């Protein structure tokens, strides 16, 4: 997929400004930036949910504006931890709604035997097969998150979009979720994915590329190790943040400020009065 020179303006507000992004099969991108940076807006373009004001967006080989987006969306898996389901569906039923793209199973709809087998395989691969007959309303947020990934994979999408999938999870649930994401990427080597988050600790080790957004503009974009650096992340969040990567995972902490004399030399402090 490709985003080229994209601007998106709503109500006079510039949400995206000259954004470029290319995601190839087998690449796993992270979109990071502060609140209001435009991450979810860009994800909406990639998911064929919105159209740009200017520029081109090509999704799975089709340009937005020249394709039936309803058909296009069938080949895109979207994981939203705020899935608007409140009724007592079973885990199996939730996963199977990935076939119909609906929150509730359509009236009189029945899955095929192959769809039932696929749902069972996906639930097993994501470690949630024990939730087959469990009630959605009694599940933890972590259990729901992994079920929603299985649901998104039901139509065998070529692109998987994950919108802050670790939202609301405790440490153990987050680690289980990220391990599941790493495993599905190994199991589906041609699958491309884009994950939105505020936190580097929420990135799976299998992340290959990253894009940093600030106020709708790209701060840095490319291979993850060249983008997720202290300098680039600090510039993106306008705060000194030290970045480390160990065993494939990233951590972030406030970096120590240089001494006042060094900051003055670098022009980071105002000139003294008088």
Distance in angstroms (rounded) separating the CA atoms of residues 243 and 251? 6
**Separation of first and last alpha carbons in the chain:** 57
What is the model's pLDDT at position 269?
Answer: 46
In order along its 274 residues, the chain shows pLDDT tens digits of 899 999 999 999 999 999 999 999 999 999 999 999 999 999 999 999 899 999 999 998 899 988 888 888 888 999 988 888 888 899 999 999 999 888 898 899 999 999 999 999 999 988 899 999 999 999 998 899 999 999 999 989 999 999 998 888 889 989 988 998 999 899 899 999 999 998 999 999 999 999 999 999 999 999 999 999 999 999 999 999 999 999 999 999 987 755 555 545 555 445 554 4
Q: Give the Å distances, CA to CA, from 82 to 141, 144, 167.
A: 10, 10, 9
Nearest residue to 58 (alpha-carbon basis) of 4, 1, 7, 18: 1
The CATH number of the structural domain formed by 2-75+157-265 is 3.40.50.300
Q: Which long-range contacts (CB under 8 A, 24 or more apart) does 124-129 make?
A: 125/150, 125/183, 125/184, 125/187, 126/150, 126/180, 126/183, 126/184, 127/176, 127/180, 128/91
pLDDT score at 37:
95
Residue 221: predicted pLDDT? 98
Query: 127 burial class (0-12, 13-18, 19+ CB within 10 angstroms)?
Result: middle
């Amino acid at each position: 997929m490709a985003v080229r020179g994209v601007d998106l303006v709503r109500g006079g507000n510039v949400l995206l400004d000259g954004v470029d992004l290319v995601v190839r099969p087998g690449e796993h991108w992270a979109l990071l930036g502060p609140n209001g940076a435009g991450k979810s807006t860009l994800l909406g373009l990639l998911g064929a949910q919105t159209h740009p004001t200017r520029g081109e967006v090509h999704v799975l080989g089709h340009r937005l504006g020249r394709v039936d987006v309803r058909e296009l969306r069938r080949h895109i898996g979207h994981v939203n931890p705020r899935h608007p389901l409140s009724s007592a569906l079973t885990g199996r039923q939730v996963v199977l709604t990935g076939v119909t793209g609906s929150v509730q199973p359509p009236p009189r709809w029945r899955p095929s035997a192959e769809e039932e087998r696929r749902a069972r395989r996906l639930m097993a691969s994501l470690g949630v097969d024990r939730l087959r007959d469990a009630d959605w309303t009694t599940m933890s947020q972590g259990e729901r998150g992994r079920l929603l990934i299985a649901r998104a994979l039901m139509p065998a999408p070529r692109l998987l979009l994950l919108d802050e999938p670790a939202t609301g999870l405790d440490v153990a649930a987050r680690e289980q979720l990220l391990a599941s994401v790493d495993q599905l990427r190994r199991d589906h080597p041609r699958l491309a994915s884009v994950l939105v988050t505020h936190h580097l600790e929420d990135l799976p080790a299998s992340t290959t590329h990253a894009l940093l957004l600030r106020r709708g503009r790209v701060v840095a974009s490319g291979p993850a190790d060249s983008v997720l650096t202290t300098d680039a992340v600090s510039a993106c969040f306008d705060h000194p943040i030290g970045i480390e990567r160990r065993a494939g995972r990233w951590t972030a902490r406030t970096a120590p400020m240089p001494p006042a004399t060094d900051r003055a030399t670098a022009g980071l402090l105002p000139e003294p009065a008088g």
